[in-house]
């Protein structure tokens, strides 16, 4: 993949840009195999590659410049806006939205937030596209000051971009390097973006997490389902379940599935998907994964974990060690924390692993490991 922004040193976010894709994928496989080398009984499945460009279903863009001439992209070292509205890793559907959004910013006179000066209002645009081409748009503001202008001009934006189905404003009043705040104001009647994955309808609400590469997310869930169905456990926990991707894919006759996630928004979405699919033995609960496990009366036969980059940590590893859990499916976006966690699980043997390239043009990837209790 060629990127003019990278060549001009305007953006270096994609650190592997220009490296042949086959070489990128092989390098990620070698990196993961090296980190998990102590697990000598591990069977490595073939890595799953992604399309090289246009794969991102979500863009988190900083708004810079002025209301009359906004930039949509990132900030440079001096805090000035760098326009990346033709970024090649974003899906064509997202790219089609950026020029219209720039016009909307100018029309509604939405003053971009000036980071060095700590003034202005519009900080970020967060935009997500579903497999059906529908779009969720979130505008991150410092305050409610611009809300009347946004409401006034929103009909013209929706007329220009009819694929935009969900629009919200996120309030982020603090001056710190965090993408968004806690408060969300919904501006459309529709509140969720339908994400059709492997024949299942997942629902994404404004503050819910979803993988940024939809085909790779589908492959991830299919792999998890394949391993779970092969083992056929009667009970499964999906910890850090998000909007319920693994839990919903692993539902089956005679199987009780429980999903746990700290985000209440994500749990609302997961319950909606479960209800629509008529899955009576799948339940979701908002809460901390480790606290849920420690407070449970009994253990399931199989646990799925899909934690953030820090991994599951010593406390949950300790619970798994002392539990009756027979198998763990571990989906990790950080093989280093995965390696630390596996070292803290000596009662389990890593049987199979697979690298899935969720993030082409970068050093990041997803890896799934199937663990079996030794003996």
pLDDT digit string, tens, across residues 123-179: 999 999 999 999 999 999 999 999 999 999 999 999 999 999 999 999 999 988 888
261 is in an annotated binding site: yes
Q: Which residue has the tokens 């089609």?
A: 96
| pLDDT of 362 higher than 90 | yes
Angle, nearest 10°, between helix axes 335-343 and 21-35? 20
211 is in an annotated binding site: yes
| pLDDT of 287 higher than 80 | yes
What pLDDT is recorded for position 188? 98
- At 117, list the tokens: 């000066």
What pLDDT is recorded for position 251? 96
User: Which one is catalytic: 11, 241, 250, 333?
Assistant: 333
306 is in an annotated binding site: yes
Q: Which domains does the chain have, with CATH numbers?
A: 12-52+213-373 (3.40.50.150), 58-191 (2.40.50.1070)
User: Which residues touch 121 (CB under 8 Å, ≥6 apart)?
Assistant: 110, 111, 112, 113, 141, 142, 143, 145, 146
| pLDDT of 260 higher than 80 | yes
Q: Percentage of residues in the chain with pLDDT exceeding 70?
A: 100
- Please say if 241 is a catalytic residue: no
What pLDDT is recorded for position 176? 84
Helix (H, G, I), strand (E, B) or coil at 92: helix
- At 365, list the tokens: 């990837």
| pLDDT of 33 higher than 80 | yes
Beta-carbon-side half-sphere exposure of residue 249 (alpha carbons within 13 Å): 25
Q: Average of pLDDT values for 99-121?
A: 97
| pLDDT of 120 higher than 80 | yes
Helix (H, G, I), strand (E, B) or coil at 231: helix
pLDDT, one tens digit per residue, over 209-250 is 899 999 999 999 999 999 999 999 999 999 999 999 999 999
226 is in an annotated binding site: no
Sheet containing 256-261: order of strands? 43-44, 348-356, 366-373, 327-332, 302-305, 235-239, 256-261, 282-286
Do residues 203 and 225 lie in contact, with contact meaning Cβ atoms separated by under 8 Å? no
For the whole prediction, is pTM greater than 0.85? yes
């Amino acid at each position: 993949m060629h990127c003019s922004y990278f060549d001009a040193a305007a953006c270096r976010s994609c650190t592997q840009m220009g490296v042949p894709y086959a070489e990128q994928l092989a390098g990620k496989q070698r990196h993961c195999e090296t980190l998990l080398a102590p697990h000598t009984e591990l069977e490595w499945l073939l890595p799953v590659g992604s399309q090289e460009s246009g794969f991102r279903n979500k863009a988190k863009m900083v708004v810079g410049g002025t209301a009359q001439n906004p930039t949509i992209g990132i900030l440079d070292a001096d805090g000035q806006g760098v326009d990346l509205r033709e970024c090649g890793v974003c899906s064509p559907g997202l790219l089609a939205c950026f020029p219209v959004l720039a016009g909307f910013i100018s029309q509604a006179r939405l003053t971009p937030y000036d980071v060095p000066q700590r003034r202005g209002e519009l900080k970020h645009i967060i935009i997500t596209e579903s497999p059906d081409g529908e779009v969720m748009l979130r505008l991150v503001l410092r305050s409610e000051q611009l809300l009347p202008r946004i409401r006034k001009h929103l009909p013209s934006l929706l007329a220009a971009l009819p694929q935009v189905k969900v629009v919200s404003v996120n309030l982020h009043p603090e001056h710190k390097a965090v993408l968004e705040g806690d408060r969300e104001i919904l501006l459309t009647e529709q509140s969720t973006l339908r994400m059709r994955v492997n024949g299942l309808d997942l629902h994404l609400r404004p503050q819910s997490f979803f993988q940024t590469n939809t085909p790779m997310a589908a492959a991830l869930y299919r792999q998890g389902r394949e391993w779970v169905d092969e083992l056929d456990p009667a009970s499964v926990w999906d910890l850090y379940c998000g909007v319920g991707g693994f839990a919903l894919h692993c539902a089956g006759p005679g199987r009780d599935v429980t999903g746990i996630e700290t985000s209440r928004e994500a749990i609302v979405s997961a319950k909606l998907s479960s209800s629509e699919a008529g899955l009576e033995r799948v339940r979701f609960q908002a809460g901390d994964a480790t606290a849920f496990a420690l407070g449970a009366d009994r253990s399931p036969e199989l646990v799925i974990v899909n934690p953030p980059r820090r991994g599951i940590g010593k406390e949950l590893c300790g619970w798994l060690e002392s539990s009756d859990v027979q198998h763990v499916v571990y989906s990790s976006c950080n093989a280093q924390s995965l390696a630390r966690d596996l070292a803290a699980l000596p009662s389990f043997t890593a049987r199979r692993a697979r690298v899935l390239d969720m993030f082409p043009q970068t050093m990041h990837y997803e890896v799934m490991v199937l663990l079996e209790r030794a003996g």
